[in-house]
Structure 1
Amino acid sequence: MIDPDRAGELIIPMVGAGGIMLYLLHVAVKTGWLETFLKNLDKPSSDAIKKQSDEMRADMDRNVADRKARQDR
């Protein structure tokens, strides 16, 4: 069984921590930081964009080489 005095000692810090978290959430919403963070979650990383760009460039180079080879025949 939980000692009632100990439970009271635990509830007050938990309520305080919850209040601090709500204040931080409020500030994040008011400054627009939360909206920006949530928008950026869906964006691909710069490494993924670079990899895609490199793959597209390699495909273009292969297509150009194939076209030149067909023209030379």
Structure 2
Amino acid sequence: MASWDPASPDAGPAKVAHHKRCQIPVEATHEEKEQLVLDTIDEARICGVDVPLVVADAGYGHATAFRLLSLS
């Protein structure tokens, strides 16, 4: 199975070429969208922005970390 990671030995040549053509840095890694949301909320809170409500589609309900956000 081909990998999404162009640094992986399983990465297809098209994926590697795409990353080079788009100048995507090697350090850029895949992150789940749930983690991106949690990181954004954390950054907002660090900057003093209150985040009283987050609206998301049903898919986020499958992510335990996202569901637990309401408890923090």
What band does the TM-score fall into relative to the shorter chain? under 0.3
What TM-score do you get using the length of structure 2 for normalisation?
Answer: 0.25
Q: Which has the larger radius of gyration?
A: 1
What TM-score do you get using the length of structure 1 for normalisation?
Answer: 0.25
Which has the higher relative contact order, 1 or 2, with Cα contacts under 8 A spaced 6 or more apart?
Answer: 2
| Greater per-residue helix proportion | 1
